[in-house]
Amino acid sequence: MSKNRKDEHIELALKQEVKKNAFDKIRLEALDLPDLSMDQIELNTEFLGYKVPYPIYINAMTGGSANGHRINEFLSRLANHFNLPMVTGSQSIIFKDEASKPSFEIIRKNHQGIVVSNLNANASVSQALEAINLISANALSIHLNVIQELVMPEGDRDFSDWTENIKKIKDVIDVPLIVKEVGMGLSLSTISKLKRLGIKHIDVAGSGGTSFLKIEEARSGKSYDYLNEFNLDTAEILMKLEKDDDVSIYASGGVRNPLDVIKALILGAKAVGLSRCFLDLTFLEFDEAIKRVEEFVNDLKKIMIIIGAKSIKDLPKVKYELID
């Protein structure tokens, strides 16, 4: 296994400062008579049709290098402890490098819960099946990362088959399919097109958190500032989306804390994905990481009390105002 692009992505992602984003524009109203106790709060929800105890999941990051193996080993143990769904980093490396496989297999070895495979839309049907089989995945996540590919010197340049690939994969696999971006956000037109293709699970994966433009700027020394105009902020996408009972929307990108999770759920997400927050935990002792996730979950309950929501399905009814 080589020290590869994935390791550079991790190093550079960790250097990014967590800044302000559109979740800060949302102001929730506190209820001084919530008529609820902490024991009554229910955090369970559904993720890709599976029942899960918490409305958060570990979103796609890594695999394929020694460091990727370490991170996946750590996160899958954490995921198993809390029964959190975990999405792997892109598995495309397994088609080129046999030695990369254990860094993904470790996830299923450690985690009895929901494990989700990940590839980009270049993947063929047989590759999708191989990625799913390798880790007995409960679902497949396909990421659409056109801009990221275009700014990477070694990235893809041919996107002509992507829609067709998604259609074919969707028809063949027997596990749920979720489509996401990688932190620049799916546009409303893309979301409509995915719905027309029959995709039932969509993670808007917007901006406001880890930025691959910044990561690639640091790798190449070039400025991609002008491409920032294509960034779609996670909270803004959620606010613009029309409700559609046929499709489950998930949110990720720039979710920094329990309050952001609650805001994303209020804006209609069924569950919320975090990458950077979980990456940071992998540098702690395992017991300390467990404590942090326990605190995170407890803070979700505290916020639910403050805003008077007993369960996740109550959240879309919570009132909020937008501030500048």
Smallest distance from ligand FNR to CB 210, Å = 3
Give the residues lining the site for ligand FNR (CB under 6 A): 9-10, 13, 59-62, 89-90, 118, 143, 180, 182-183, 205, 209-210, 252-255, 274-276, 279
Closer to ligand FNR by Cβ: residue 40 or 163: 163
Pairing of strands 201-203, 248-252: parallel
Q: State the DSSP H helix or E strand holding residue 142, giving kind and residue range, or none if neither.
A: strand 139-143
Closer to ligand FNR by Cβ: residue 281 or 305: 281
Alpha helices in 174-285 (DSSP H): 188-196, 212-220, 234-240, 258-266, 276-281
Closer to ligand FNR by Cβ: residue 113 or 253: 253
Q: What region, left, alpha or beta, does residue 136 occupy, with left being phi > 0 and alpha being psi -120 to 50 degrees?
A: left
**Number of Cβ within a 10 Å radius of residue 162:** 17
Smallest distance from ligand FNR to CB 216, Å = 12
Closer to ligand FNR by Cβ: residue 111 or 180: 180
Smallest distance from ligand FNR to CB 28, Å = 21
Smallest distance from ligand FNR to CB 18, Å = 8
Q: Which residues are within 8 A (CB) of 199 and not within 5 positions of it... i.e. 6 or more apart? A: 166, 170, 177, 178, 179, 247
Contact 323, 27 (CB under 8 A): yes
Closer to ligand FNR by Cβ: residue 166 or 274: 274
Smallest distance from ligand FNR to CB 235, Å = 12
Smallest distance from ligand FNR to CB 267, Å = 16
Report d(CA 247, CA 202) in Å as an integer.
Answer: 8
Q: Is 197 helix (H, G, I), strand (E, B) or coil?
A: coil
Closer to ligand FNR by Cβ: residue 41 or 183: 183
CA distances from 67 to 2, 9, 103 (A): 10, 11, 9
In the complex, residue closest to ligand FNR by CB: 209
Closer to ligand FNR by Cβ: residue 41 or 75: 75
Q: Which residues are within 8 A (CB) of 227 and not within 5 positions of it... i.e. 6 or more apart? A: 147, 151, 213
Smallest distance from ligand FNR to CB 183, Å = 4
Tokens representing 62? 């890594």
